[in-house]
Amino acid sequence: MAEKNASSLGIFSRNSLFCLFTIISVMFILSWFFVLRSTGHPHYIDHNLLPNSKLLATSENGDSTTHSQKDVEPSTGNRSILVDIEEEEAPQENAITQSKDEVKCNPNNGVLVAQEKENKVVLKVFMYDLPPKFHFGLLDWKAQGDSVWPDIRSKIPDYPGGLNLQHSIEYWLTLDLLASQLPDAQNAHSAIRVYNSSEADIIFVPFFSSLCYNRYSKADPHHKKSRNKLLQEELVRFLTAQKEWKRSGGYDHLIVAHHPNSLLDARMKLWPATFILADFGRYPPNIANVEKDVIAPYKHVIRSKVNDSSDFDSRPTLLYFQGAIYRKAGGFVRQELFYLLKDEKDVHFAFGSVQKDGIKKATRGMHSSKFCLNIAGDTPSSNRLFDAIASHCVPVIISDDIELPYEDVVDYSQFCIFVRSRDALKEKFLLNLIRSIRKDDWTRMWQKLKEVENLYEFQYPSKEGDAVQMIWQAVARKVPAIRMKLHKSRRFSRSLARSDRGLRLIPSPSNFW
């Protein structure tokens, strides 16, 4: 009898321990589940492990809402930044903007924009008060008294038209900084001017280098050097004497040199600065490169196609190109393509210039074409790409070394066709490719062009999401890397420099970037 009772007691004990173990395991699993749900990072969770899991997003008031994949419209926004929440990378700390933003789609330009909270921090820019001869004085503006800058509330100095406009980036950025300090400024700014350089994220050099090259690169018969060269030499002397340059070696400076030949003499001495360029065609990689510098769009020179109601069938020309055909070594593809395409009935491939209403003719031609060729010339880029975007003419880019503006946030494959030069020169390859693009595919790209065209518009005052603010945002994304490089360059400054004279060892460009 005692043995029977002992056996029953053993079974009971084992059952009790099993039940207790089961209860503890269930509680542990539930607690693990709720902890993960409360972390605020649902994209780190394998949703296949969770019953009835959905993507979670947090609204501005802190409430949780659910979104399914179908809430992300693939034809709206930029593919590179339109991703499912569970595919996103962990958010990185931004040295420029510390606030958390709710991201929504802006129907005006088709890219994702941030609905910033009130504590938004924009790029802080210290701008040198250079004499007018470096900037608006090149536009024949005359300073009144000791004034360095024009009173933009009353009159804005005009920029020359024609092809000069395509490289006018320095003009628009300077105006934007001046406008940011106006007491009645109402527009949102991606950059503001600050007057204490130690508070700045970047130091801006307001030298209108492209305008200086276009207007003053030819030497006066009575002088050995052109005004363009003299101003560059004076700029180098000025900058290298400033405490801001000495403090950083120029690494935190920002210089616009959008014309390929602008700043030609000074660039080798000012290389530590971040350059705003059209491309890297005439720069050695240790002086300018995509890691260090910012690519900005050209300002289109043809008229934008507003209220565009055209469609695939109403644009009679299949493929359009008008411009200089015979270029230097880098542009031989234009010449070869001319011989391949000149006799095709639905292709317009002809010589053209700004002379004799050339811009008006190009406007009519691009507005009535389905595809517009953007072929490398003397340099990898040209204004033709941005003319095509303004025309809603799908760009066909044949330029193997081209770098594109803000490509880290814009997916150009959504509205451009890219063709390698070697393929474009194959018999019938290009035409067969273009003719194989279906009407609905072209329509999607055409619609995308209308959505993104504002990203390439220069205007004063600047508006949210236009070219001016997109460039400032691109600069802001460079600042963390600039700071890291600058901090690294100071590691051995105490042992390698004489502190009593403020000297610092500055590495060579090949070692720095």
Q: What's the pLDDT score for residue 351? A: 82
CA distance linking residue 135 with residue 360, whole number of Å:
30
State the amino acid at position 256 in one-letter form.
Answer: V
Rounded-to-integer distance, Cα 284 and Cα 358, Å:
34
Q: What is the pTM of this model?
A: 0.75
pLDDT of residue 324: 82
Predicted local confidence at residue 220, as pLDDT: 80
Contacts of 463 (CB under 8 A, 6+ apart): 187, 454, 469
One-character DSSP codes across 167-188: G-HHHHHHHHHHHHT-TT--S-
Answer for the pair 259, 214: CB distance below 8 angstroms, yes or no.
Answer: yes
* pLDDT number for residue 509: 52
Residue 461: cis peptide before it, omega within 30 degrees of 0: yes
CA-CA distances (angstroms) from residue 439 to 314, 315, 398, 511?
12, 12, 22, 50
Q: What was the pLDDT predicted at 33? A: 53
Q: Name the helix (H) or strand (E) containing 499.
A: none
pLDDT in tens, the chain (513 residues): 444 444 454 544 556 666 676 777 767 666 655 544 444 433 333 333 333 333 223 333 333 333 333 333 333 233 222 223 233 333 344 434 433 343 333 444 444 443 443 445 589 999 999 999 999 999 999 998 888 999 999 999 999 988 899 999 999 999 999 999 998 766 678 999 999 999 999 999 999 999 999 999 998 877 889 999 999 999 999 999 999 999 999 999 999 999 999 999 999 999 999 999 999 999 999 999 999 999 999 999 999 999 999 999 999 999 999 988 876 666 688 889 999 998 899 999 988 666 677 788 999 999 999 999 999 988 999 999 999 999 999 999 999 999 999 999 999 999 999 999 999 999 999 999 999 999 999 999 999 999 999 999 999 999 999 999 999 999 999 999 999 988 888 888 766 555 445 544 445 554 445
263, 273, 287 from 282: Cα distances, Å: 11, 17, 10
According to DSSP, the residues that pair with 103 across neighbouring strands are 114
Residue 460: other Cβ atoms inside 10 A = 14
Phi-psi region of 317 (alpha: psi -120 to 50; beta: other; left: phi over 0): beta
Distance CA(418)–CA(397), nearest Å, equals 5
- Rounded to whole angstroms, how far apart are CA atoms 118 and 177? 21
